[in-house]
Amino acid sequence: MNLGLKDKTALVCASTSGLGLATARALAAEGARVIITGRSQDRASEAAATIPNAIGIGCDLVAEGAAEDLHAATVAALGSVDILVLNGPGPAPGTAAGTTGDGIKEAIATLVIPQQKLVQLTLPAMRENKWGRVLSISSTSVQSPISNLALSNLGRAALAGYLKTLAPELAPDGITVNMLLPGRIATPRAAQIDQAAARRTGTPLTEIQAASKATIPAGRYGEPDEFGAAATFLCSTQASYITGTALRCDGGMTQTL
């Protein structure tokens, strides 16, 4: 299938590792020109060096003015953004009962404000071109909140509400807005969550991982490349009639339609 991504410019946030990097690699494999981003310029450059037609830009999106700087650097390097992949690290694990006002502010500052700014910055060119893709790498917690990830659940749900509201506004301009919800994918983030659970409960890490896999009908954690392939399809020309949708990539784990 020709995905129609050759020479499209893709800005992939938080893409020096994990799901962001897997998505960037898959987009580049289809001919897209990719901006790799991360807080460290060195890590962004190192990751970009492993991908054809990729450029690394260091940027801490939570910092004041960072979204504007990243967008300007992207346009200077590769031109206007055709594909915006929203991604970012989740807040630290914690219970809902233990949530504080500062924690809520952090969740919004990390998972909502930079993403909204980048969307607003990239929309004018997408609208002018009558083509664009906005894809959020999120979590199955949007549909079924995950225990002990209260702040992540809160921030991701807020972003989901914004994007779902945005999708019909942009559809007449040929711009799609979707979310891709990973379940347990073998990434550093998944390892961090498992390790935190092991420390919190005093349970060996191997038992935590085995118990987690037992909840997944596929019987295993997903591979980042499997996620990247799904993300790339949603960014493709072939997915032009899919918008306002949250697609799960979770091995059948989430108990909802």
Q: How open is the CA angle 105-111-112, to the nearest 5 degrees?
A: 80
Q: How many CB atoms are closer than 10 A to CB 52?
A: 12
Q: Are 151 and 92 in contact (CB under 8 A)?
A: yes
| CA distances in angstroms from 140 to 94, 144, 214, 257, listed in the order given | 17, 6, 17, 12
Q: Are 85 and 23 in contact (CB under 8 A)?
A: yes
φ and ψ at 213, to 5 degrees? Answer: -65, -30
Would you state the pLDDT for residue 257?
84
Q: How many Å apart are CA 168 and CA 173, to the nearest integer?
A: 10
Residues 6+ apart with CB under 8 A from 55: 33, 34, 35, 36, 48, 77, 78
Chain centre to alpha carbon of residue 20: 6
Q: How open is the CA angle 22-242-120, to the nearest 5 degrees?
A: 70
Q: How many Å apart are CA 213 and CA 32, to the nearest integer?
A: 34
pTM, full prediction: 0.95
Q: pLDDT tens across 182-220, in order?
A: 999 999 878 988 998 899 999 999 999 999 999 999 999
Positive or negative: CA dihedral 18, 21, 24, 29: negative
Burial (CB count within 10 angstroms: exposed 0-12, middle 13-18, buried 19+), residue 120 = exposed
* Helix 150-170 × helix 113-129 angle, to 10°: 20
Would you state the pLDDT for residue 214?
97
Quickly state the pLDDT bin for 153 (edges 50, 70, 90).
very high
Q: pLDDT tens across 53-108, in order?
A: 999 999 999 999 999 999 999 999 999 999 999 998 888 889 999 999 999 999 99
DSSP codes of every residue in 88-108: -PPPPPB-STT--HHHHHHHH
Would you state the pLDDT for residue 93?
85
Enumerate the H helices of the chain as residue ranges: 18-29, 41-48, 66-78, 101-111, 113-129, 150-170, 188-201, 205-214, 224-234
Q: How many Å apart are CA 57 and CA 43, to the nearest integer?
A: 9
φ and ψ at 9, to 5 degrees? Answer: -100, 125
Would you state the pLDDT for residue 192?
84
Q: How many Å apart are CA 17 and CA 192, to the nearest integer?
A: 14
Would you state the pLDDT for residue 89?
84
